[in-house]
Structure 1
C-alpha cells in the first residue's frame, strides 16, 4: 500500500493504492460518512488476492483529506473528486476493467457516479447504500437545531471489536451532523432518483437485513427506482450496517468476488 495526494474541490485529497503485479482488474473503493479509506484495508487485501489493484481516497472533510470536518455542500463535487481517482487508476492500468465498490454514503456517491460516468465502469458493488431516502436526514433537517447525533458504533457490526475500533479511531468523525451536509445528502438522493436507471451496467446491491443505521426498506425502494437490467441483489439475515466488517464478512466478500468473476467472464 502507498499513499499520495491530489487536488480536489475542497483542497488536497489523501489517496491510497494497493497494487498487485499483473492485475486482472482495478477496484475503486468509496467509503461512507464520517469514516476514511483506511478502514477498508481488509477489503483491499481481499481484492488484491482476487487479482485487483485497489484504489481509494478520503472524501473532502474526511480522514486525512482537507476540508472542514464532514462538511459537503454538493455531492456532485465529491463525484468529481472520485472521477479524478478513477482516471488516475485507469492511466496506471490502461485497458483494465474498473469495478467501483461503494459503502453507505459511498454507495450513494457510487450510484451517482454511475449516472454521470457509468461508461467508464465495468461493474459496481453497492453495500448498504444511502439511496431513496434516509429517515435520519429527514428528521434532523426538520429540527430547528440539530441535536448531538453521533453514530452508534453498535449499529456497525455484530462483532464488538469493529465498534470499539471505530470509537477509538482518531480519523473517524465522532461529532454531529452538519446542516449543509444533510441538505446535500437529501439533494443527492433526489438527483439519483431523477437521474435514470443503471441500464446495462452490472450492479450488485448488498444489504444487511438488521441494518439499523441505513434501514434496508428505504434503500431497497431507492434501488428499485434506478435498477437496470443487470442489477442483482442479496440480503444478509441478521447482518448490521458494515457488512464488509460483519461476522459473515468472508461470505460477503466471496459473493463480491463471484459477482466480479461473472462480469469478467472468468
Structure 2
C-alpha cells in the first residue's frame, strides 16, 4: 500500500513524503530512501515493491528543490536560502521520526547526492540506524575540490538562484565521453535504454540546479570527508557500497574503494563494496536490477543475523 503526504520540518518546510507499506504477515523492519540529484523519490517504486515483498516497509521524501517538494516550493534545483548538509541531514531524521513505526530494524539507503547526505547523517546520527547502503557515491573531490568549492561560492554570492549552467557542464559534461555510442546526454546513468528514456521523459528529472545548490553540495562533500566528523560514526555501523565499475561519478570504482578505505581506517568494522562490471551510475535501474537488489537484501539479512 502506498501513502503520500507532506512532512512539516522544524524550520517550516513541507517535504513530500511517500511510504510503501509491506502487506507481508511478518514485518522485518523499514528501509528509508534518500534520492539523487535532479530526480525524485517516485523513481524508487520498483525497489520499494521488491523490498515490500521481503517484509520491509519503505519510505522516503523528495529533497528540497526536488520532486513535489520542489514543485510546492516553486523552485526545482535549489535547496533554499538557509539549507546546508546539516539541515538536509536533519530533514532525513525528521522524516524518519514521522514514518518509522518502530518495528524491527531500520536501514538507510542513499543514492548519489542522497548518498552524500546519508554520509552526513551517519556522522551525526549513526546510532539511529541498523545499517547503511550507499549507491552511486564517490570518493573525495581531490585537487579539484577547493577550486570547485570556491567557484560555486563566488557564483552563488553573485547570482544564487540562477541556473548553474557552467558548474553543470564542469560537473557532468564529460560523463558521456566514456560511452562513445551514446544516443542521449544521459546514457551514463544506465545501460538500460528504457530506463534512460524514462528519465528523459520525466519532467521532474534532468533539470539544471542553481549556483546556490552547488555551493551547498560542494561544501557538504568537503564536510563528509572531514576526519573529525568521520570519527563520530559508530564503529559497529555496517556500511554497504553499491556501484557500477563504469560509473563516472564514482571515478570508475576508484572513488568507491577510496571511500571504503577511509571508513575502515577510521575504525568502522564492517565496510563492504559490491562493484558490478559494466554497471553505470544507477545500479538500481540497471539491466541486472534483480541481481543488485538481491545482493542488497542478502546483505541486510546478514546484518540482521
Instruction: State the TM-score, normalized to the length of structure 2.
Output: 0.79
Q: Which residue of 2 aligns with 1:75?
A: 85
Pair 31,131 (structure 1): closer, same or farther in 2 beyond 3 Å: farther
Q: State the distance in 1 between where 2:68 and 2:129 align.
A: 27
Quote the offset at 1:172 in angstroms: 1.6
SS in 1 for 2:133: strand
Give the counterpart of 2:120 among 112, 125, 149: 112
* Deviation of 1:10 (Å): 6.5
Q: 1:211-265, CA deviations, whole angstroms, 9 ceiling, x for partnerless residues?
A: 0244232343234223411111111011000000001111110110000000111
Distance 1:61 1:147 in 2: 17
Candidates 162, 165, 174, aligned match of 1:147: 165
Q: Which runs of 5+ in 2 are unaligned?
A: 156-163, 173-184
**Structure 1 match to 2:64:** 60
Map of 2:7 onto structure 1: 6
Matches within 5 A, 1:249-260: 249-260=289-300
Give the aligned partner of residue 246 of structure 1. Answer: 286
Structure 1 residues 259 and 209: CA distance shift in structure 2, 3 A: same
Larger mean Cα displacement after TM superposition, 15-24 or 136-145: 136-145
Does the Cα contact within 8 Å between 1:69 and 1:173 map onto a contact in 2? no
- Aligned partners of 1:126, 1:137: CA distance in 2, in Å? 24
Work out the CA distance in 1 between the residues paired with 2:46 and 2:197. 17
**Are 2:159 and 1:127 aligned?**
no
Q: Higher Cα Rg: structure 1 or 2? A: 2
More displaced 10-residue stretch of structure 1: 208-217 or 118-127: 208-217
| 8 Å contact kept, 1:62–1:173 | no
Residues 97-123 of structure 1 show CA distances to partners (whole Å, capped at 9, x for unaligned) of 101011101111111111111111001
3-state DSSP of counterpart to 2:6: strand
The superposition leaves residues 19-39 of structure 1 with CA deviations (integer Å, 9 ceiling, x where unpaired) of 124411101011001100000
1:218 and 1:131, CA in 2 relative to 1: closer, same or farther beyond 3 A?
closer
Question: What secondary structure is seen at the aligned counterpart in 1 of 2:272?
Answer: strand
Give the conservation status (yes or no) of the 8 Å contact 1:132–1:223. no
CA distance in 1, matches of 2:139, 2:201: 28
SS across alignment from 1:61: coil
Equivalent of 1:169 in 188, 199, 202:
202
Q: Which residue of 2 aligns with 1:34?
A: 38
Work out whether residues 28 and 54 of structure 1, in 8 Å CA contact, stay in contact via their aligned partners in 2: yes
Aligned residues: 262
